Amino acid sequence: MNQWEVFVSSEKELVEDTDLELTIRTLNPGMHKFTYKRVKCQVSADLKKHADQLQVRLGRGQLSNSRFSIQVLDEVRRMPAKYL
């Protein structure tokens, strides 16, 4: 189980059971803690629906009481492959 965090302006941005493109960061302990990724994912308010957990922060960094489960479908590459 991975723990992720997302920054949003409003929790209404996290529409359940649709494919979303979000920038999330890992909260797992270790060398890569706080590493950001741009991903396609699905979120659910049901914490048991998906294996990973998502913590929500609002625009100024306030921690929201809402928790979601998240399934990362794919990582989105912003840089063209020829530069990787």
Asked if residues 73 and 42 have their Cβ atoms less than 8 Å apart, the reply is yes
The whole-model pTM stands at 0.83
What φ, ψ does residue 19 adopt, rounded to 5°? -75, 120
CB 61, CB 6: distance < 8 Å = no
pLDDT tens digits, 29-66: 888 888 899 999 999 999 999 999 999 999 888 999 98
Angstrom distances, CA of residue 35 to CA of 10, 25, 30, 38: 22, 5, 10, 10
- Alpha-carbon gap, residue 8 to 58, rounded angstroms: 5
